[in-house]
Amino acid sequence: MQIHALMTGTVSLKHAFLFPDSGPRRQLGLFLPGPFSEPMPIHCWAVEHEGRLLLIDSGESAAVRDIAFAHFHVTREQELPGAFAAAGLALDDVSEVVLTHHHGDHVDGLVHVQAPVLINDVEQRHAASVSSRAMRRLLRQPLPRGFAPQTFTLDDRPFGAFARSPPLSDDGRIVAVPTPGHTPGHISVICIDDSGRHVMLAGDATDTLEQLHALRADAVGPDPKVHVQTLERILAHCAQHPTVYLPSHDIQSAARLADATIVSAAANQPARHSPDPHPAAAVAVS
């Protein structure tokens, strides 16, 4: 198995998005003036396995408009075709696309892909809801032309700390797991690499590893409690399996993939590097 970090430009996020107040100001702060972060990557991921090439999310496009809490920096050259060329991959080889959720910085690159596109059925229903459609109109963030992914259902097969998990590969080494919070039907994709590590392509489950350890819900999710429960579950999974945790916008995600950095399973503790050739033994956390 080979996992490639692709990058389709960057986004600067308002502090009120990354570090929201609690209570009624949680979402209000998104629309008030305030400072922005340094540019953070807009990653998507290509996974070569069993003769297939899975694309997890499709990145952003240069046509994206800034919104009140996110400023995008994407050139035509940084869109999916350029990102594929930089990785030495061919877009025509993509066998299918799996979406973590329906936000533009994860789906706008679909215009470059011919392969079938899969999305969790809960997320697709959410994307089609009146409130989501109104928000997209308000923020001038339309779904890409022809957006019509096939839906899949999370079944009752447990996987690690997750109660449900449809496999995405015949050998079960690539699975989708539910990580609701940022959106109601958000999923993450876990790939068991050749060393047995669980490489978690986490989409926007959090924006950073720091947010995971802080157990902090973001400002846009509809229910912060659901979001925090998901973060606790991800950490519980990290306690069971050596996990490389890769949010789409974490400035450290590409380095953690390259270095196979295993995350600590404890809340509010910094990540650590694991040079141990037997990573399963390196995460003996009870």
The C-alpha atoms of residue 15 and residue 20 are separated, in whole angstroms, by: 7
Residue 112 binds Zn ion (CB under 5 A): no
Tracing tokens 């789906």 back to the chain, one arrives at 107
Angle, CA 119 vertex, CA 108 and CA 70 arms, to 5°: 40
Q: Which of residues 29-88 bind Zn ion (CB under 5 A)?
A: none
- 193 versus 207: smaller Cβ distance to Zn ion: 207
- 16 versus 262: smaller Cβ distance to Zn ion: 16
- 100 versus 274: smaller Cβ distance to Zn ion: 100
- 208 versus 274: smaller Cβ distance to Zn ion: 208
The C-alpha atoms of residue 63 and residue 104 are separated, in whole angstroms, by: 11
The C-alpha atoms of residue 41 and residue 57 are separated, in whole angstroms, by: 13
Among positions 57, 105, 123, 193, the unique one binding Zn ion when judged by CB under 5 A: 105
Least separation in angstroms between CB 266 and Zn ion: 26
Residue 27 contacts residue 220 (beta carbons within 8 Å): yes
Among positions 123, 193, 204, 218, the unique one binding Zn ion when judged by CB under 5 A: 204
Q: Is 23 exposed, middle or buried (0-12, 13-18, 19+ CB in 10 A)?
A: exposed
The CA distances from residue 6 to 67, 156, 192, 217, 243, in Å, are: 23, 31, 19, 26, 20
Amino acid in the structure at residue 265: A
Binding-site size for Zn ion (CB under 5 A) equals 3
Least separation in angstroms between CB 188 and Zn ion: 12
Tell me how far apart the terminal alpha carbons of the chain are, to the nearest angstrom.
29
Which span (51-59, 131-139, 166-174, 202-210) binds Zn ion, by CB under 5 A?
202-210
**Strand intervals (E) in the chain:** 2-13, 40-49, 52-56, 70-73, 96-98, 117-120, 150-152, 174-178, 187-192, 198-203, 243-247
Among positions 14, 43, 103, 256, the unique one binding Zn ion when judged by CB under 5 A: 103
- 126 versus 241: smaller Cβ distance to Zn ion: 126
Q: Looking at beta carbons, which residue is closest to Zn ion?
A: 103
- 29 versus 221: smaller Cβ distance to Zn ion: 221
Q: Which of residues 161-200 bind Zn ion (CB under 5 A)?
A: none
Which span (67-75, 78-86, 155-163, 204-212) binds Zn ion, by CB under 5 A?
204-212
Least separation in angstroms between CB 50 and Zn ion: 28
Interface ranges with Zn ion (CB under 5 A): 103, 105, 204
